[in-house]
Amino acid sequence: MTETPAQQTTDLPQAWEPAAVEAELYQGWVDAGYFTADPDSDKPPFCIVLPPPNVTGSLHMGHALNHTVMDALTRRRRMQGHEALWLPGMDHAGIATQNVVERQLASEGLSRHDLGREKFIARVWEWKAEYGGRILDQMRRLGDGIDWTRERFTMDDGLSRAVQTIFKKLYDDGLIYRAERIINWCPRCRTALSDIEVEHSDDDGELVSIRYGSGADSIVVATTRAETMLGDTAVAVHPDDERYRHLIGTEVELPLTGRRIPIVADAHVDPEFGTGAVKVTPAHDPNDFEIGRRHDLPAITVMDETGVITAHGPFEGLDRFEARPAVVAALRAEGRIVAEKRPYVHAVGHCSRCDTVVEPRLSLQWWVKVEPLARAAGDAVRDGRTKVHPPELAKRYFDWVDNMHDWTISRQLWWGHRIPVWYGPDGETVCVGPDEQPPAGWTQDPDVLDTWFSSALWPFSTLGWPEKTADLGRFYPTSVLSTGYDILFFWVARMMMFGLYAMDGVQPFDHVYLHGLIRDAQGKKMSKSRGNVIDPLDWLDRYGADACRFTLARGANPGSDMALAEEWAAGSRNFNTKLWNATRFALMNGATTATPVPDRAELTDADRWILDGLDALVSEVDELFDGFQFAKLCDALYHYTWDEFCDWYLELAKVQIAAGGARADATRAVLGHVLDVLLRLLHPVIPFITEVLWKAVTGGESVVIATWPSASGSSADSSARTRIEGVQKLVTEIRRFRADQGVKPGQRVTARLSGVDDADLSDHAAAIAALARLQSPAAEFAASASLEVALPGGTVVVELDLSGTVDVGAERKRLTKDLTAAEKELAQCEAKLGNPKFTDKAPDDVVAKVRTRRDTAAADIERIKARLAALPAG
RNA sequence: GGGCGUAUAGCUCAGCGGAAGAGCACUCGGUUUACACCCGAGCGGUCGCAGGUUCAAAUCCUGCUGCGCCCA
ipTM for the complex? 0.95
Q: How far is the CA of A821 from the C1' of B20 (A)?
A: 14
Q: Which nucleotide is nearest to A564 (CA to C1')?
A: B12
- Does any strand B atom come closer than 7 Å to the Cβ of A9? no
- Does any strand B atom come closer than 7 Å to the Cβ of A268? no
| H or E element in which residue A113 lies | helix A112-115
The residues, any chain, with a CB within 8 Å of residue A78's CB and separated by 6 or more, are A34, A46, A84, A145, A704, A705
Give the pTM. Answer: 0.89
- Does any strand B atom come closer than 7 Å to the Cβ of A573? yes
Confidence check: pLDDT of A6 > 70: no
- In the 708-767 segment of chain A, residues within 7 Å (Cβ) of strand B are 732, 735-736, 739-740, 744-746
- Does any strand B atom come closer than 7 Å to the Cβ of A290? no
Could you check whether A191-360 and A807-874 share the same CATH topology? no
Which residue type occupies A737? F
Q: What is the second-level CATH architecture of the domain A6-10+545-712?
A: Orthogonal Bundle (1.10)
Tell me if A528 is assigned to a ligand binding site: yes
Q: How far is the CA of A551 from the C1' of B56 (A)?
A: 39
| A546-575 CB burial, b ≥16 within 10 A, e <16 | bbbbbbbbbbbebeebbebeeebbebbbeb
- In the 508-547 segment of chain A, residues within 7 Å (Cβ) of strand B are 519, 521-523, 525
**Residue A3: what pLDDT?**
40
CATH code at A191-360: 3.90.740.10
Bridge partner list, A484: A515
pLDDT-based confidence at residue A326 (cuts at 50, 70, 90)? confident
Sorted by where each begins, the domain ranges of chain A are 6-10+545-712, 191-360, 717-804, 807-874
Q: Which CATH superfamily is domain A807-874 in?
A: Valyl-tRNA synthetase, C-terminal domain (1.10.287.380)
The 10s digit of each residue's pLDDT in A782-801 is 888 889 999 988 899 999 98
- In the 380-399 segment of chain A, residues within 7 Å (Cβ) of strand B are 392, 395-396, 399
Cα separation of A255 and A312, whole Å?
A: 12
| Closest residue by C-alpha to C1' distance, nucleotide B33 | A585
| A382-414 CB burial, b ≥16 within 10 A, e <16 | eeebbebbbeebbeebeebbeebebbbbbbbbb
Q: How far is the CA of A559 from the C1' of B5 (A)?
A: 9
pLDDT-based confidence at residue A764 (cuts at 50, 70, 90)? very high
- In the 49-88 segment of chain A, residues within 7 Å (Cβ) of strand B are none
A800 in Cβ contact with A786 (< 8 Å): yes
| Closest residue by C-alpha to C1' distance, nucleotide B14 | A632
Q: Which nucleotides of B are covered by protein (CB under 7 A)?
A: 3-6, 11-14, 18-19, 22-25, 28-32, 34-35, 37-43, 54-56, 68-72
Cα separation of A845 and A860, whole Å?
A: 22
The 10s digit of each residue's pLDDT in A264-308 is 888 888 877 778 888 888 888 888 888 888 888 888 888 888 888
Arithmetic mean of pLDDT over chain A: 89
Q: Which nucleotide is nearest to A733 (CA to C1')?
A: B41
Query: ∠ at Cα A620 (A618, A622), nearest 5°?
Result: 70
Got the DSSP string for A768-821?
HHHHTTEE---TT---SEEEEEEETTEEEEEEEE-SS---HHHHHHHHHHHHHH
Q: Which nucleotide is nearest to A838 (CA to C1')?
A: B55
Give the residue ranges of DSSP H helices in A503-544: 536-543
Distance of CA A36 to the CA centre of its chain: 26
Q: Which nucleotide is nearest to A555 (CA to C1')?
A: B13
pLDDT-based confidence at residue A76 (cuts at 50, 70, 90)? very high
